[in-house]
Each structure stands twice: as C-alpha cells, then as structure tokens.
Chain A
Amino acid sequence: MLKYTEDHEWLRPEGDEITVGITSHASEQLGDVVFIEMPEVGREVGAGEEIVVIESVKAASDIVAPVAGTITAVNDALADAPGDVNADPMAAWFFRIRPADGADLSGFMDEAAYRALIG
C-alpha cells in the first residue's frame, strides 16, 4: 500500500525496505527533469536529509530521506533517462532505503490524505 509524504514523495514498502519516488503532482510542478544526482548505495542518512538532487529545466530541487536508514539501491536507469520521471512518475523509483527503526509507515499519509493535501 502506497504512502505519501508532505514532500510529495511516494513510499512503497517492500519487505524491510521502502522504495521511494516522487508523485505526479511533484513531477508536474518540477517541469521537465534533465538531471538527477543519486545518493551512494550504503550511505546512512537521517530523516529529512537531502539525498537526491533533481534538476529540471527550471531549477534544482531535492528529494529528502523520508526516514532515517541506509540506502540499499538507487535507480541508475533513471539517472540516465531523467525524462522518465515526467513520463511516468509513479513508476520511476529513485532509491530504496532500509529504515533504522523498521518499515512502519503508519505515520505517513494514505492516498486520500495526500489528495486532500494537494487539493
């Protein structure tokens, strides 16, 4: 079951890991994505830490770690084809993170709550 953050990330729990991407709303706001800088696999990150840089034709922005944990995988194919973020943001995952405190996502928004957030 997908969850959402206030930073417009979608979170998909898979075993003891969480796969992270950005929402269609975020993709539309960013405009055409032209460059993505991924974190290193194995990096330990804190909740809210800026770990991905997304450059669109307009500006640079960040994706933050939704929870504290360890980066277990990054989507290198996406870094090579950043436009995929705009083409299908819900399929374009950025990284997987193994949370330090277990993969409990109950504190994040469900789809209905996220839709209410973005109006």
Chain B
Amino acid sequence: MDALKHTPLYDLHVALGARMVPFAGWEMPVQYPAGVLAEHLHTRAAAGLFDVSHMGQVILGGRGAAAALESLVPADILDLPEGRQRYGLFTNEAGGILDDLMIANKGDHLLLVVNAACAAQDIAHLEAAGLAPEVVSDRALLALQGPAAEAALESLVPGVAAMRFMDAADFDWRGATLWVSRSGYTGEDGFEISVPAGLAEDFARALLEQPGVAPIGLGARDSLRLEAGLPLYGHDMDAGVTPAQAGLGWSIPKVRRAGGARAGGFPGAGRILPELGRAASMRRGLIPQGRAPLREGVEIFAAAEGGAPIGRVTSGGFGPSVGGPVAMAALPADLPEGATVHAELRGKRLPARIAPMPFVQPTYKR
C-alpha cells in the first residue's frame, strides 16, 4: 500500500492538535480538539476553515476544451460565462455517475475540482476523450465557510465580498495569485481558495487570526453537507446511480435535455434524459422520529413489520444544527413528503418521516 499523502497544511493540522485519519489516500484532519459537534456549530455561527487540498484541481486549456468537456458532462459549459462556476457530473454509458465536480470558466482555461478518490479515474477519463488535463499539484485548496467567512476573507483579500454565489476570480495575496470561488459544500455562504503550496500555511494562519475563524475537520464537513442536503460521491451517488436517482437532475440544463439546442451528446444520455423527473427511486430526506441516528446501509421498509425493503439509507447521522438525527435515503419517488417509513436498526423498526431537503436553509449570496 502506498504511503498516505500529506497536504501542504499537514504540519499546521498537527500543530493545531488535529486527529489525523486516512481519507482517499491522504492523511487528513477528521477533527480538532473542539470536536465535531462544536466545529459544526461554529461553522454555522461564525466561520470554519477546511483543508480540502486532497481534492483534485485540474486545468483544461486550449480552444475547444468547453465543447470537449460537454461530451463527458451533461452541463452547459459552452455558455458558462467567464468568471462563473457550475456543478456537473461525469456520467458513464449506463447512465451512472462517475464523479461530481465543479467547473469554473477562468477565461483562457477551465478549472475543475474533482473528488480525491475519483481524481485519477477522472484524469484518465478526460485523456481518453482526447482532452489534455493538467493536474495542479503545487497548490493547496482551502474552504472558508459560514456567516463570518466574507468579512474574514475580505480583510485579507479586498474585493472578494463583491463576488456572488458561484463567481470565480483571481486575487493577489502577498504577490501570489489566489484562485477564489464563492462556493463550498456546507450550505453556508463561503469561499474556496486555491493557494500556492508554499504560501498555504501562512495564508491559513492569517485566516485563523481573523475574528470567528476556527479550523474544522472532515467530520463536521460531512455533517454540514448532510444537513444541507448535499449528496456525497461514493455514498449518495456512484456509478450505479443515475442523476435523476441522485436527485441531481437539476444540474442538467434545458440546453442538454431532449429538445434542447445541444441535447444529449454525453455518456448515458439515452438513459439519463428520459428518466429525468421519472426515476422510480430517488434520494429523499429522512427525519427519524426517535433520537437514534440512521447510518448508511440501514434498510427502509414500508411497514412496521414484514415486507421487503423499499430502500436504504445512503448517508445519515446526527445533525448538530437540527438537534437530532437526519438522513438521506434511496426511496420510491412516489412516496409523498411527510409519509412515514420504517428503518430497521439493530433488529427493531423505527419510524422515520420523509422530509424535504435541505434540513437547514442555505445562506448563499446569490
């Protein structure tokens, strides 16, 4: 087995007392001494600084990159304005999801951010389609999330406060170029900031000196995105789950749908497009009626006794801001919101209510 990789912020995590764990080939902070609960609540109340350098940053340059990427991703990339970012999916021929990613138009190139565990596969997938992806290996990626994020970053990098949700722009910090987008994966307003590796620790420390900014680990990142109703690759979606089943049909714009100017033309379009709005099972929100968290893999039944499972939990746990357990589950799409289903936990069936997502309201600056 290969040694675990370290991000440019590894020494800082250790100095801050993080508990480091293996994650997708990287040694990453799962929590700091404050603990997951406190870190989660701090992010919603003030600002959390996350090291997401394990994620893949990929540059696609050259003329035709946008058109070529559209052959792999059912998103509108040709019309993505310069300085804007979009969410998209790599799909396979069977209509399953190979990865989810962010795509920013940086003018003379596209900047992609992909999941750590999928990065090598994504690169190969891009190369196989004739693209020439350039993997960014000399930069850290930080996420600053929460209501205090704007003021904290603005005080170091004047101008970022003018950005709107999903804007992407470059800024200068101590002579280095930061790649900033107003985005994140916590349901909070915030930024993702790509910073040259050699300046990453200084930049992170400067952010941590700002009022309200605290370091947050992957544990709270997971509970934050769960409460925000955001799916996680490898859990709520994978190569066997279609965009409609993952509840991600919204990411496929009209122009790529049947009847659109650039309809189809991506892997699995023949299955994915007809299924939009018509998938038999879908990712649904679930609020357990008791206090027991329902975790990934828990089977869901229609009745309190007997019958075959009708679905399973894909992500679940305790929602610190909700103050109780929350979950996402693959469930029949025709079950109405508010319906009660039964989750089998340790041999007992516990009632849970189908609920709208997100479980907390996002605070994006649109």
Verify B295–A57 contact, CB threshold 8 A: no
For the complex formed, measure the closest distance between the CB of A34 and the CB atoms of chain B, giving whole angstroms. 4
For residue A77, CB closer than 8 A to chain B, the reply is no
Kindly report which residue of chain A lies nearest to residue B295, judged by CB atoms. Answer: A60
Question: Do A57 and B320 form a contact, CB below 8 Å, given A31-B36, A32-B35?
Answer: yes
Q: Within the assembled complex, what's the spacing in Å between the Cα atoms of A83 and B291? A: 13
**B318 interface neighbour in A34, A53, A86, Cβ under 8 Å:** A34
**A55 interface neighbour in B36, B219, B293, Cβ under 8 Å:** B293
A25-64 with Cβ < 8 A to chain B:
31-32, 34-35, 37, 53, 55, 57-60
Question: Do A55 and B346 form a contact, CB below 8 Å, given A31-B36, A32-B35, A32-B37?
Answer: no
For residue B223, CB closer than 8 A to chain A, the reply is yes
Verify A57–B291 contact, CB threshold 8 A: no
Size of chain B's interface in residues, with CB distance under 8 A? 17
Verify B219–A58 contact, CB threshold 8 A: yes
For the complex formed, measure the closest distance between the CB of B278 and the CB atoms of chain A, giving whole angstroms. 36
For the complex formed, measure the closest distance between the CB of B326 and the CB atoms of chain A, giving whole angstroms. 12
For residue B292, CB closer than 8 A to chain A, the reply is yes
Residues of B within 8 A of A32 (CB): 35-38
Verify B35–A35 contact, CB threshold 8 A: no
A contacts, CB < 8 Å to B = 31-32, 34-35, 37, 53, 55, 57-60, 83, 86
Can you identify 12 A-B contacts, CB atoms within 8 angstroms?
A31-B36, A32-B38, A35-B293, A35-B318, A53-B346, A55-B292, A57-B35, A57-B223, A57-B317, A58-B219, A60-B293, A83-B37
Across the A-B interface, the 5 shortest Cβ-Cβ residue pairs: A32-B37, A34-B318, A57-B36, A35-B291, A55-B293
Given A32-B35, A35-B292, 20 additional A-B pairs, CB 8 A: A31-B31, A31-B36, A32-B37, A32-B38, A34-B37, A34-B318, A34-B325, A35-B325, A37-B292, A53-B346, A57-B37, A57-B219, A57-B317, A57-B318, A58-B30, A58-B219, A59-B295, A60-B293, A60-B295, A83-B37
